[in-house]
Amino acid sequence: MSTPTARPGTERQGAPAAGAPLRVAVIDTDSGFLQVLTKRLDRLGWEHRTLASPVPPEEIVAMRLSALVVDLAILGPQAWDYLERLAATLPGLGIVVCTGRSSVAQRVRGLRSGADDWLTKPCHPEELIARVEAVARRRRRAETRQDAEPVSAGELEIRADRFQAFVGDRSLDLTRREFELLELLAGAQGRVLEREEIYQRIWGYAMARGDRSVDVFVRKLRQKLEKASPQWRYIHTHFGVGYRFAAEPGADFEVPDALPADVAPAAPAPEPAEGSTLPA
C-alpha cells in the first residue's frame, strides 16, 4: 500500500493555517444585525472590524483580511465600480455581499463584478458565517494550488496547478467537483475522511440528513479511475464512516477480502450550487 507523495515545502508562505481564526471586515450600518453578528464572531475568536462606509482598496490591503462582507445598499451608485476595484486590487480576498432585496440581474452583476457569494437580508448570522468560511476556504485552496507540486500514487499523477489528473500522458476526463474530491482524498495521506467532512469541505455546507451526494460522486470518480488505471484501486470505502485514498494493486477488479464492498448504487442527488443560490 502506498499513500500519495509530494515534494516538501509546497505550502505558500504566509498563507493562513487551516483552522486559524479568520480576519474579517464588515461594511454595514444595520446596527441590529451587526450587534448579533459581532457577538457571534467574538465567540468564534475571529478578528473583525466594522466599517460604516467604503474605504479605498489600498486600505483594505493593509488590513490583511481573509474576507470582506459588504452591504451594497450603503455604497450607492458606486457599488459596482467599488466591487470591481476591490476584486482587481485584492484577487485573493473573499467578498461576500449581504444586502437587501435585489433582482436576478443585480445579483448576477455583483457576482460578475467580483463578489464570491451573495446573501439576501434578512438572514441568519450563522449562514453568513458559514458562507464566509466557505469562500475563505476556496480562496486558500486556490492559492495553495498555484504552488502545489504533482502528487503521485500508483499510476496516477494529480496536478493541482492544472486542475487535472493523469495516467501516463493521458488526462482523465474529470468534472471540477470530481477533481476537487480526488484532490481532497489524496491530500488526506491515507486518513479516512468522513462523509460529512467531505461534503462540508467540497460543497461548503453542512450535509443534510440522507443526502447521498458524496457516495454518488465517489462512485463516479472511482469508475473513472479504475477505467483509466485498471491495475490499481485508489478509493476505499469504510462502511458507516467514509472514504480513504491509497494506491493498492488490484486483483482482477475484485475487492480484496480486507476491504468492504462499495456502497450500493444510489440515485444521484441534485448537486448543490456553488456559492449563493439565486432565489426566484
* pLDDT tens by residue, 120-147: 988 888 999 998 988 888 777 666 655 5
Radius of gyration (C-alpha) of the chain in whole angstroms: 21
Query: How much helix, strand and coil, in percent to the nearest 5, is found in the chain?
Result: 40, 20, 40
Q: Which fold has domain 23-143?
A: Rossmann fold (3.40.50)
Q: What is the pLDDT of residues 176-208, one digit of tens each?
A: 788 889 999 998 888 999 999 998 888 776 777
Q: Average of pLDDT values for 87-104?
A: 87
Mean pLDDT over each residue of the chain, to the nearest integer? 79
pLDDT band per the 50, 70, 90 thresholds, residue 93: confident
Copy the grid coordinates of residue 53: 462606509
Copy the grid coordinates of residue 93: 480576498
Q: Which fold has domain 151-249?
A: Arc Repressor Mutant, subunit A (1.10.10)
pTM higher than the cut 0.85: no
pLDDT at position 146 is 56
The residue written with cell numbers 480576519 in the block is 23
7: Cα separation from own chain's centroid: 23
pLDDT band per the 50, 70, 90 thresholds, residue 256: very low
Q: Cα–Cα distance between 11 and 171 in angstroms, integer?
A: 25
- Domain boundaries in the chain? 23-143, 151-249
